[in-house]
Amino acid sequence: MEKTSPPETFSIMNVDDFAKLFGTSSSEVLECCSEELASLDPHYRVLAGDERDQVLLQVLAKIDDPGTPESGTSRLPDWERGWGENLDEFVRSGYDIEKLVPKYFKKNVPARFMGEYILPIDPQFVLVCTRMFRRWIFGRYLAPYDTIYEFGCGPATHLAFLAQNYPGKKLVGLDWARPSQEIISLLAQHRGWDIEGRHFDFFHPDPTLRLAPRSAVYTFGALEQVGGRHGEFLDFLLREKPAICVNVECLCEYYDASRLSDYLALRYHRRKKYLDGYLTRLKELEARGRIEILASHHQRFGNMYDDSNSYVVWRPL
């Protein structure tokens, strides 16, 4: 059957749009993300009228629901269970790394894009766009380093990407949930990668952990769980002095509460008690000469609730 074109009411997310989202140039996106661009159907429809109202009502219902879980130490059993599901599917599949994708990536759902709510044609639009962004930011900031640590690595999907695309690097995944370390052990065993898993708690950093000289550190949607309690982790990084720190996180300082979509995202962020004051603290440390912020950007894209892939890149001095 001949493939038909989407109706004229659909827009197309192009290379320039991705460059603006990532905070880079179109040429960089084309150079590093051709594989994901080729696999993505870029058509989407901006929601309006009743459809947009339904999304807004869903967001408000989540904010007002007393059963909406909050971040923090009480969520550990949830992550044990969630990463345990990934572990079970990973083993049953014969160690297929696609089974390491977190379950919170839903198919055929609305997304946030530049202050609008959109409905993409591609059922895995948010996942593919996240992978495109990952390829760009890892290539830009992590590729030069031989030892890379991911704190809050979950089911190790990002570490598997690094191992496949940057062979020869030493990779260390740290998480407070036991299944995470089991997944990493299986990756080392069945893939032959130089990858190691360790237990790590953001609230109580391991005082015996020492980072390799000239190493890179990153988080990818992990610090949201600490809320305002990021001081001990920052103290740990300032002590260990990695060569670079890349934090891909929902940074609430970027939201503009005079815009409806940002206002709702900020309300959701606070309802969940997600990462609070982290970017502000980094700027304070920079003003005191303790760190240097190399890049910082609000990526106005994500699921219908928040912009989860903003980032700040910095290094201790």
In a domain, 190, yes or no: no
CA separation for the pair 129, 39 (Å, rounded): 10
Q: Which amino acid is at 101?
A: V
Q: Which amino acid is at 310?
A: S
In a domain, 264, yes or no: yes
Residues 176-234: pLDDT tens digits?
Answer: 999 999 999 999 999 999 999 999 999 999 999 999 999 999 999 999 999 999 999 99
In a domain, 308, yes or no: yes
What 3-state DSSP class applies to 112?
strand
In a domain, 162, yes or no: no
Per DSSP, 146 falls in state: S
In a domain, 88, yes or no: no
Q: How many structural domains compose the chain?
A: 1
Q: Which of 147, 102, 152 is nearest to 124 (CA)?
A: 102
In a domain, 252, yes or no: yes
Q: What is the pLDDT of residue 1?
A: 38
H-assigned helices in the chain: 15-22, 26-32, 34-39, 49-64, 76-92, 125-141, 157-165, 178-191, 231-240, 260-272, 278-287
Q: What is the largest CA-CA distance in the chain?
A: 64
Kindly provide the b/e burial profile for residues 204-222, where b requires at least 16 CB atoms within 10 angstroms of the residue's own CB: ebeeeeebbeebbbbbbbb
Both structure tokens of 25 = 């140039």
In a domain, 277, yes or no: yes
CA separation for the pair 291, 305 (Å, rounded): 31
Q: What is the pLDDT of residue 35?
A: 87
CA separation for the pair 55, 68 (Å, rounded): 17
Domain span at residue 44 reads 11-68+101-152+200-316
**Segments in the chain below pLDDT 50:** 1-3
Q: How far is CA 210 from CA 142, 236, 242, 301, in A?
A: 19, 10, 10, 35
Cβ neighbours of residue 75 closer than 8 Å, sequence gap 6 or more: 69, 225
Give residue for tokens 């179109």: 26
In a domain, 235, yes or no: yes
